[in-house]
Structure 1
């Protein structure tokens, strides 16, 4: 041991006398880095839904030795005060899970503290909470009065988007000639081709009205089409129709809370 120390000292002294620079010290290794992955599990839910806040925290590149405590906080919206909602333990792997009931839209925050080392990490996740309310809106309306409908009265709605919900139609028909009849539909076909039994159409070969019914076209882009035909009046009589069509849909509207 003594000779080794003397040899080392002599070597340094010789280097100094000769003007040679001593060997450079090895560079220090970068300290380990930490991180967190955090999720609320979904983008949006209804009030009262139980959600799972989960993720991973700890040393990057390590799947053990990451045990620690994770505290959770919630802020309503983007400006609400931060409220602590609970805590859980991160496993040695760094994984953690925490169940909580969603009550309002806002931001969840998770803060991790290693159990033995001064290691911290944090993350945030935003969650939307919504209620649903049925809303009925008119998607098409048309009427005509004292129209002869010879050979036919037609109404072609504009090209439009509708929801997948059933279309509720109210049709009022008052024709002087009892053999008047027609059809109503919502279709994406430019030729308005009618096929018997198609749920997007309703046929009235003998005339009928007033009447209410549903259309289920199976498409969400197209146009409404009405065609009504009357027969010629007996000599000296009149041919005239009053027609009215209203189509509505009821959808569930989301209100975020």
Structure 2
């Protein structure tokens, strides 16, 4: 009897302990750490800045691979050219990227467009791409008429004057052709390009040419210090002897050679 009661009591205790056992539940998600990221790869790539004339030798250069490393970036860089985003690429050749990732590719600029570089690491599955734009032009010398003036049978007493409009010219010399024919010898004057509204002549100014008594070349150059102003001519006939007339035929034309630029 005693044993039976003891077993029963023990069973009740076991049951009580089983009921009292805590229940564990997961009411919050456990954060999973993100996988570690490898070093970032990329490319620095550039063509010459600005613009160049067609046929100019250029060097395309850059650096590719793991840009935060100075070694271990050896690989191959293929170079392409295309006129625009919608046009196909033309393969130009390849360059070798050294361990630092630096590379150079010499070529000639023949057209305006984009240079495209594609890098492939020598051993790893690492690639990078970059582009750069270059404008290319052709040029030719063009002779442009800037101003001309013609008059006949002018007395030029006291003085004949011709004033051109204000205009912009290119830097550099201008070519002048001046023809004058006066009945009276020693008739002279001057011609120039100036910003001065009073058209004051200064000896030694390369923008002027002086003909004190009319003698001098028919064709010559002026070298103005300014590119904005107007052309001016004045001519004075020598006083004729009593009973004679003064008369001048004068014509002059000014032109300038400049380079005409066309992008290709």
Superposition TM-score, scaled by structure 1 size: 0.83
CA contact 1:174–1:209 (8 Å) conserved in 2:
no
Give the alignment's Cα RMSD to 1 decimal: 2.6
Q: Which residue of 1 aligns with 2:190?
A: 183
Aligned positions of 1:1-257 closer than 5 A: 17=24, 19=26, 21=28, 23-30=30-37, 32-76=39-83, 80-208=87-215, 211-257=218-264
2 CA distance for matches of 1:187 and 1:23?
85
CA contact (8 A) 1:67 1:91 kept: yes
Distance 1:70 1:19 in 2: 54
In structure 1, the gaps of 5 or more residues are: 1-13
Alignment CA distance shift 1:134-1:19 (3 Å)? closer
Q: CA 1:225–1:122 in structure 2 vs 1: closer, same or farther (change >3 Å)?
A: same
Change in 2 beyond 3 A, CA 1:79/1:193: farther
Q: How far off its partner does 1:213 sit? A: 0.9
State the shift of 1:220 in Å.
1.2
Counterparts of 1:16 and 1:176, CA distance in 2: 130
Mark the CA change 1:107 to 1:147 in structure 2 (over 3 Å): closer, same or farther: same
CA distance in 2, matches of 1:88, 1:200: 53
Deviates more, 1:179-188 or 1:69-78: 69-78
Deviates more, 1:76-85 or 1:114-123: 76-85
TM-score (structure 2 length as normaliser):
0.81
Instruction: Please give the alpha-carbon distance, in whole angstroms, between the structure 2 residues aligned to 1:218 and 1:254.
Output: 24
Q: Could you tell me whether the CA contact under 8 Å between 1:78 and 1:106 is conserved in 2?
A: no
Query: Which piece of structure 1 moves more, 185-194 or 39-48?
Result: 39-48
C-alpha separation in 2, matches of 1:73 and 1:152: 68
Contact kept in structure 2, 1:172 and 1:209, CA below 8 Å: no
Give the structure 1 partner of residue 10 of structure 2.
none
CA 85–65 in structure 1, closer or farther in 2 if over 3 Å, else same:
same
Once the two structures are superposed, what CA deviation does each residue of 1:34-76 show, in whole Å capped at 9, x if it has no partner? 3322112243333433211111222353333332221111224
Would the alpha carbon gap of residues 45 and 16 (structure 1) be closer, same or farther in structure 2, given more than 3 Å must change? farther
Gaps of 5+ in 2: 1-20
Stretch of structure 1 that moved more, 49-58 or 98-107: 98-107
